[in-house]
Structure 1
């Protein structure tokens, strides 16, 4: 079981936001893209038992960690992880079908996605049910400005590792969302200079 200190610190604050959108009286299906160690998905599953969670991770070591967390926590509403490559077309994302998701969660992933950002948002738009929610958490730029200085350094370090990485601008993501029948509904300030972006899949009448 891999342990991310950052995931331990932020899992409760992300859960607080996510829980606002979960109706505990009815069952739902949630997909996490890039589940990492698995700490988030089992934490969400324990707190939100009405949601069946589908973790995903392209890294085999992380897949093993997710499975270990599922076994250790004995959660029954988390499926085995799928090996999803978001740079591939959405219809190759582990057999997931159009409109199958009530929720899609992306945590600290967008700033380390070097290809397929447009394809990822297309997939999100296809997989979410009308009215469904995509929660994206992490550090972001706003109108081309990155604050504070620690996030500037993070952006620089990421681009040294990979020129295609770096903090995404909220406006860039808003435009990608609009192209794929999603609208940015809320932007919440979170601890450690991060944000939660809430995208909602438009109803068919809005498309």
Structure 2
């Protein structure tokens, strides 16, 4: 029996085996973070109510992790060209694997980006070239220089009226609640004294210093928040 004819497959058995091997090649490199699976839809809901879907936009994700977020968002926003970035080699490979597996034309190949370095080293982005910048679960597991570098760089490359979305657990006015977040902060600082939950008041001031206004704080599941910063137009 001619199986390829039966299933209307134009390729040969060898072609199918080769295609399967190619798919497996990418799947084997795709890392999976349970937290990303849990929070990708809640974060997408925030984006859907605040980001235009009817015009061409450019978005940079800083610290893309596994790549789960960027492919999820790219499917929902085909009008946006998404640029993922990372500093870790294994994560860069995982992001590319997700991109290849899902065959998304609006996701660019991932770039190396060290947020603690000058924004001029961030892949060559010109000033005021990004409509949207996303940063998920980075600030509390990185040195303070990464947080200050993030806001300084975003203040340079975000367009006027552009949006910065950050997501994660935060302190507020020196207080960390609930107890689970407090315990999490203590465990992070025990692992690395430079880590820990950043205070929203500090981030608000840091944003103001770089032309970014804290526009909204959105409650998210599991005691996390989305902080939305808007770059004010130059008067």
TM-score by length of 2: 0.86
Q: Tell me which of 80, 84, 102 is aligned to 1:51.
A: 80
> Partner of 2:40: helix, strand, or coil?
helix
Residue segments in structure 1 that go unaligned for 5+ positions in a row: none
Whether 1:128 and 2:185 are equivalent positions in the alignment is no
The alignment yields a C-alpha RMSD, in angstroms, of 0.8
Deviations 1:45-104 (A, max 9, x none): 001100000000010000000001001111110001110001100011111111110000
SS at match of 1:192: helix
Q: How many residues align?
A: 205
**Structure 2: runs of 5+ lacking an equivalent:** 1-29
Which of 154, 172, 191 does residue 184 from structure 2 map onto? 154
Cα shift at 1:121:
0.7
TM superposition shift of 1:117: 2.4
Say which SS state the counterpart of residue 52 (structure 1) adopts.
Answer: strand
Greater Cα radius of gyration, structure 1 or 2: 2
When normalised by structure 1's length, the TM-score is 0.97
Give deviations 1:137-191, integer Å, cap 9, x for gaps.
0000011110111111110111111101100000000000000000000001100
Which structure is higher in helix share?
Answer: 2
Runs of 4+ in 1 over 4 A off after TM superposition: none
